[in-house]
Amino acid sequence: MSEPRIRSATAKDLESVLELWGESRSPGPTDTRESLAVLLASDMRSLLLAERCGLALGTLIAAWDGWRGSFYRLTVRCGHRRQGIGLALLRAGEQRLRARGAIRVSALVDDRDPVAVAFWRAAGYMPEPHTARFLRHID
């Protein structure tokens, strides 16, 4: 089996990205074509896509705010997990953020998902002690 190609997603990829996300978990309030278009308009290299033979296999948002890098929405298609796709996306995201000046990167991870927690720990990421995420919808 050939290695997946990792590239920046484009507007043409947004439907397949949303489809992939919908297969992996319930859509969130920002899981829309419009929200992803805004993301790409502000940083056209932030949404990474792993694909093989035209099939979207995984995604990772590698965002840079000018101060710190952040990872969101690491997703690998069911049936293609445990093949190194997630780690390849993560390492590609790290490279892109490092090239932009990031020396510290955080990942938004659902701590109720033992598979996700184990993945991030195995990749060298640890929970930050004494830090909580606060959230408010402002729409």
The mean pLDDT of 36-65, rounded to a whole number, is 95
Residue pointed to by tokens 């489809």:
19
Q: What value, to the nearest 5°, has the Cα angle with vertex 131 and ends 22 and 135?
A: 45
Residue type present at position 53: C
Domain ranges in the chain are 5-122
DSSP 4: P
Closest to 93 measured CA to CA, from 69, 110, 109: 69
For the stretch 75-113, pLDDT in tens is 999 999 999 999 999 999 999 999 999 999 999 998 899
Q: How confident is the model at residue 1 (pLDDT cuts 50, 70, 90)?
A: low
pTM: 0.92
Closest to 21 measured CA to CA, from 60, 54, 62: 60
Q: Which CATH superfamily is domain 5-122 in?
A: Gcn5-related N-acetyltransferase (GNAT) (3.40.630.30)
- The per-residue pLDDT for 33 is 93
- The per-residue pLDDT for 138 is 86
